[in-house]
Amino acid sequence: MTQSMYELGKKHGTDKVTHHEYHEIYPLFIEKFYQKDGAMLEIGLDQGASLNMWLELFPKMHIYGMDLDFEGTTERSTIIKGDQSREADLSRVVDSIKHPLYFINDDGSHIPEHQVLTFNKLFPILEIGGVYIIEDIETSYWTRSGLYGYKTRYGVGHRKSLIEAFKSAVDGVNFEFSSTRKAPLEHQDSIQSITFSRNCVIITKKEPGDRTYRYPNKVRKLF
51 is a domain residue: yes
**Cβ–Cβ < 8 Å for 58, 67:** no
Looking at the 3D structure of the chain, how many domains does it have? Answer: 1
Domain of residue 75, residue span: 5-136+190-218
In a domain, 19, yes or no: yes
Q: Is 198 helix (H, G, I), strand (E, B) or coil?
A: coil
Q: What is the CATH number of the domain that holds 116?
A: 3.40.50.150
Whole-number Å distance between alpha carbons of 207 and 85: 28
pLDDT tens profile 60-115: 999 999 999 989 999 999 999 999 999 999 999 999 999 999 999 999 999 999 99
| Position 152 in a domain | no
In this predicted model, what pLDDT tens digit does every residue of 140-165 receive, in sequence order?
Answer: 999 988 988 889 999 999 999 999 99
| CA gap 135, 132 in Å, rounded | 10
Give the model confidence (pLDDT) of 109-130 as tens digits.
Answer: 999 999 999 999 999 999 999 9
**Residue 48 φ/ψ region, left for φ over 0, alpha for ψ in the -120 to 50 degree band, beta for the rest:** beta
The dihedral built from the CA positions of residue 97, 100, 105 and 106, taken in this order, carries a sign that is positive
Name the residue type at position 120: N
Q: Which residues contact 28 (CB under 8 A, 6 or more apart)?
A: none
Range list of β-strands (E), the chain: 38-43, 61-67, 72-73, 77-81, 101-106, 126-135, 146-147, 150-151, 191-197, 200-205
Indicate the pTM of the whole model.
0.92
**Helix or strand or coil: residue 52?**
helix
- pLDDT digit string (tens) for 29-44? 999 999 999 999 999 9
